Structure 1
Amino acid sequence: MRFRKQVVGVCLMIVCGANISEAGFRDNFSKWSELDNYAKSMYVQGVFDRMTGYSPFDEAAWLAAQRNALTVCALELKLTAQMLHEAVTKHYQDHPVDWGIPPHFVLGTVADRVCLRYINEERSKISLAPWRLGSGSISSHFK
């Protein structure tokens, strides 16, 4: 079963390669805006897969809790790549002060906010304090 998924994944990468490569490296809202909706969906899917994928290295307990929580959250809320890319775009539209922040960072922040309840449930399982994530612009939290 796993081998079949890997073969399907490789085939999809080959077929979609030209469109996916269009996403390239995006480091701000302007570059994000240049992408069409398909490329935005592929971009966030790749970033989200990395956020929820297993690491071949030992990872900190808090990071494993976050990864597991994001996975459960995405399944339970039935998050799609389209929903995620629309959330990134909406964040940029609502917070022009964050236009200089890369979309992968915006996605991580938005996903953490949406899935905060799940993250805190996982953190409590390993005796970690709950996260208290702010709302609004990302850059305002670094002042």
Structure 2
Amino acid sequence: MCTRSSRRRRACTTLRSRTFTRSRSRAPRSCCSRPRSLAVIALFALASVIYFKQLREATEEQQQFGILRKIGVDNGVMKSVIRKKLLLVFAPPLVLGILISWTSIKTYILDSVQDYPGLVGMVWGIMAAYFVIYILLYVSSTNVYFRIVTRKA
């Protein structure tokens, strides 16, 4: 015996359960993309600060490198000096960033999640990508630095 009010009640509960299960099954997209985008923003912010600091120093040291060029120092030696100088600026943040990231990821994530064996490879892949991007910024900085200091004033 189905009355009109009982049919309506069943339809409402069915509709509610469908919308409830449908909304629970979807994961919000922004929860996982925010940390990645913040990490990328932090990486490029750090790189741009170092990059522009080095460009400012290159324009300030243009006269000293001009003196070196006048006394006969060849371009290979000047590039070597620039690489060593910039390595002292770029290496500490790179090494410290990788060490701190690895330590925190190992302590808080890898030790607690053991049923996902591909996670370690994924972490190493992300750190390798970070390393490659940072090395590309270092090489770009050395080339631009060399062009600035060898430019005629």
Q: TM-score, normalised by structure 2?
A: 0.23
Larger relative helix fraction: 2
Structure number with bigger Rg? 2
Higher relative contact order (CA 8 A, sep 6+): 2
